[in-house]
Structure formats: C-alpha cells, structure tokens
C-alpha cells in the first residue's frame, strides 16, 4: 500500500514512520525534546505525506480550552464593527486563537441563537459589540459559568464592560451645532428599544434643555442605522417643517440625511448643518466631509479580547470608559 492510499490517522503515520502512536503525538504536539531529531523528521515527513492533522479541538477540550472567542455584532456590514472585529482578531491571532463571528441584525431571537451556538462550541470567551436590545432580557437564564464575557457599548448584562459616555458624546455635538447658530435640531435616533438610542437621546434632550433650543418632539425621528433610513426620515422632516441642524446617531444615517437635503435643494452646511456619530472612514470621503463624533473602535475590540483571554478574574462591575472626540469637518463649517 502506498503512502497516498493510507488513511490520514495517527496510527497510519506511526506505521509509515516506524514509530509508536505516542511518539507521533509527542512530535506533532511539540513535546518531542527527548526524541532524536532523525525520528522527529521521519514523523513529520510521514504526516505530510498522509496529510494528517491532529484533532486540535479534541486536544483543546482535554486541556479545558478551545482557543476560540465568539464575537457578537449587530451588523457586520457597518464599518464601525469592522474596526472592533480587527481589534479582537489581532489579539486573538497573536494568542493562537480563532474568532467566531456572529451577526444578530439587532433581533433578540437571532442574538439568542448566536449565544447558544457559541456556548455549544465551548468558546473560551464572548465579546458582545454594540448596545443591548430590550434591556437584554432575552439573554436572562443563560449559563455563563464556562466562558468569560465582556460587553462593548451599553448593556444590562452582568459582565465587565467597555463603554463611552454616549450621552456626553451627543451633548457635545448639540453644543457644537448651537455654537454655529442652529436652534431647531433634527435628531435621527435609532430604534427606541436599543440601549444606545436611549443613552444618546438622553444627551440630546439634556443639551437642548440646557441651551434653550427648540424641544419640539417632532424633531426626534426613529429608524435603523442605515443610509436609506436617514434619507427617508430627513425627507419626511423636510416636508413636515423647518430645521437648521441634524444630529444623527451614526454616520450612515447622517450621510442619508445629506442626500435628502441635497435632493431638496438644501445646502449643507449653509442652510442645515449635519453631524454624524462613530467617525467611520467614509465620513471623511463624502462631500461635504462629515463632522462626526469619533470613538476608538479598534481599541474597544483589542481591550475586550485581552480581557476575555486573560487569566485574572473579571469583576462583574468593572467598567472601562474610553474618550470620544468631536471631529469638525465641512458639514458644519459655516461661513
């Protein structure tokens, strides 16, 4: 029987190399310091010839680790989460771990299914990126004892969290619009049951009250964090009345708002100034370049991965708060 015809098993490798299965296991697991180099070379050559790969999952389970992290995101098409994922992946790869990415579309049932999948795969840690939905009540009752969990963004889960001050971020944006004489500011929020919407909306309302701006409830519009949603909500607001500023809770929505304003012959920023949130790369590429509130998404992911892969206990109430920055560009640069 030729080597190519042999089944790719440890026993077949041992027969071809003329050694024991135990020797094969020690060589391929990197524990062969006492084994002569010539023997190691024969084992490696046999393994290559038979295209044999050890069952790394079974070996990992015996050691109590799967060398994997689960990453739960609301929308992988959103560039915000690209940067978070890159931060998680860079840390995981350096530690010899893989990242299992799951996408929820901000649907509670899908998020439940994602968590079940990751727990079934016995991941060593789970990172929840993006804010919670419905106060995270659909995640009650899970047994989290076998995995380390860290959240990014506003959540009600009992785990360490990486956050920003969402309320202060939007408040700073409203103050900037007031500085350039905006008095009626359209607020393009997310869905009411999203925790990130609730936190950012609190900042909007607080700033409007502090500055004595128009608090017309019709100036708050709810929708998805997408460009079409921003365009549709802004077109409806144009038809319903007047406003001189827009604060959108993410950059895609803000870009959609600028499309609607341009289609209606409204000049940005001369007639209406626009601010987005998250500072994704496209914010700098649109015309006019979009003023946005920026966060360190890559650092969110990097820090979260370090925490779930660490060996120290994770206090449930631990909170790491990152700063935000208002990045002024042409969409608010009034003459």
pLDDT of residue 317: 83
Of the candidates 258, 311, 264, the one whose C-alpha atom is nearest the C-alpha of residue 95 is: 311
Q: Read off the tokens for 269.
A: 């920023």
Query: What value does the mean pLDDT take over residues 75-84?
Result: 95
Owner of token pair 């202060």: 168
The pLDDT tens digits of the residues spanning 296-324 come to 999 999 999 999 999 888 888 899 999 99
pLDDT of residue 56: 60
Q: Read off the tokens for 305.
A: 């991965």
Inform me whether the pLDDT recorded for 6 exceeds 60: no
| Dihedral sign from CA coordinates of 260, 263, 269, 271 | negative
Distance between CA atoms of 198 and 228, rounded to whole angstroms? 22
pTM over 0.75: yes
Inform me whether the pLDDT recorded for 227 exceeds 80: yes
Strands (E), the chain: 68-73, 98-103, 125-129, 148-152, 161-163, 185-189, 220-222, 245-248, 273-278, 291-294, 319-321, 325-327
Name residue 151's beta-bridge partners: 128, 161
Distance between CA atoms of 117 and 102, rounded to whole angstroms? 9
Distance between CA atoms of 247 and 154, rounded to whole angstroms? 20
292 or 37, greater pLDDT: 292
Which of these ranges, 8-17, 151-160, 186-195, 270-279, has the smallest mean pLDDT?
8-17
Q: Could you give all domains of the chain from N- to C-terminal order, each with its CATH number? A: 10-54 (no CATH), 66-164+297-322 (3.40.50.2300), 166-294 (3.40.50.2300)
Distance between CA atoms of 52 and 11, rounded to whole angstroms? 10
The pLDDT tens digits of the residues spanning 170-221 come to 999 999 999 999 999 999 999 999 999 999 999 999 999 999 999 999 999 9
Going by pLDDT thresholds of 50, 70 and 90, the confidence category of residue 57 is low
pLDDT of residue 90: 96
Rounded to 5 degrees, what are φ and ψ at 277? Answer: -150, 135
When the pLDDT of each residue in the chain is averaged and rounded to a whole number, the result is 92
pLDDT of residue 4: 43
């Amino acid at each position: 029987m030729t080597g190519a015809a042999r089944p790719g098993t440890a026993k077949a490798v041992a027969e071809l190399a003329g050694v024991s299965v135990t020797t094969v296991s020690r060589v391929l697991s990197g524990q062969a310091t006492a084994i002569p180099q010539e023997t190691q070379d024969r084992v490696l050559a046999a393994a290559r010839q038979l295209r044999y790969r050890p069952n790394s999952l079974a070996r990992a389970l015996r050691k109590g680790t799967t060398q994997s992290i689960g990453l739960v995101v609301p929308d992988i098409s959103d560039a915000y989460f690209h940067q978070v994922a890159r931060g998680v992946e860079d840390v995981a790869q350096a530690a010899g771990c893989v990242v299992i990415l799951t996408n929820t579309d901000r649907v509670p049932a899908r998020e439940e299914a994602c968590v079940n999948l990751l727990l079934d795969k016995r991941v060593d840690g789970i990172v929840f990126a993006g804010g919670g939905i419905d106060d995270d009540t659909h995640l009650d009752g899970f047994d989290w004892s076998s995995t380390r969990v860290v959240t990014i963004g506003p959540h009600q889960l009992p785990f360490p969290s990486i956050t920003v001050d969402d309320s202060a971020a939007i408040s700073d944006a409203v103050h900037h619009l007031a500085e350039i004489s905006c008095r009626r500011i359209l607020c393009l929020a997310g869905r009411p049951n999203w925790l990130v919407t609730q936190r950012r909306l609190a900042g909007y309302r607080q700033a409007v009250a502090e500055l004595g701006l128009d608090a017309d409830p019709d100036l708050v519009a709810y929708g998805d964090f997408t460009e079409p949603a921003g365009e549709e909500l802004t077109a409806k607001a144009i038809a319903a009345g007047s406003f001189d500023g827009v604060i959108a809770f993410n950059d895609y929505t803000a870009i959609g708002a600028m499309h609607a304003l341009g289609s209606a012959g409204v000049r940005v920023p001369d007639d209406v100034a626009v601010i987005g949130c998250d500072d994704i790369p496209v914010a700098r590429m649109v015309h006019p370049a979009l003023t946005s509130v920026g966060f360190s998404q890559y650092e969110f992911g990097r820090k979260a991965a370090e925490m779930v892969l660490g060996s120290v206990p994770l206090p449930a109430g631990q909170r790491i708060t990152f700063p935000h920055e208002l990045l002024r560009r042409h969409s608010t640069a009034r003459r």
